[in-house]
Amino acid sequence: MRTVANPDFCNVCLEGLWRSLLKRVDLIEDLRVTCPGPRNSRVVEVDLVKLAQFREQPIESTESYTITWTRNGRVLEELTNLTKVELSDRDGITYRVDVTYATDEVRLDPQGYLHASRTFDVTHSC
């Protein structure tokens, strides 16, 4: 437990604080799909909460985001950990981005607060 004379939280309290905060926050702030280039080419960008490698000021604990993209349920290995991807597809394709935040300050995540995902369908050509 935290004591009034100590400015630091114990590990259990710190983990509880993370869970309490993350249950109210979606790790994915925005997903944008644009058609800036040639026909049938689209750019997809995902904006994440500024944690891990996206923090402006690094912190002492170890943390990271893992970003996985799938097309019709198949993992696209070449897009792993990218926040901006270019896609060329016809209509009827479903994409999904899964984001997992990991920190050494949270040991277990039974409610899935450290995970977020978005799905989008390609419904028209660019």
Amino acid occupying residue 104: D
126 by DSSP, 3-state: which?
coil
Give all domains of the chain, ordered by start, each with its CATH number.
11-122 (2.60.40.10)
The tens digit of pLDDT for each residue in 10-20 reads: 888 888 888 88
The tens digit of pLDDT for each residue in 26-75 reads: 999 999 988 876 666 788 999 999 988 888 888 888 899 999 999 999 99
Going 27 to 18 to 67 to 95, the CA torsion angle's sign is negative
CA distances (Å), origin 103, targets 51, 66, 69, 79, 97:
10, 11, 21, 22, 20
Global confidence as pTM: 0.83
119, β-bridge pairs = 96
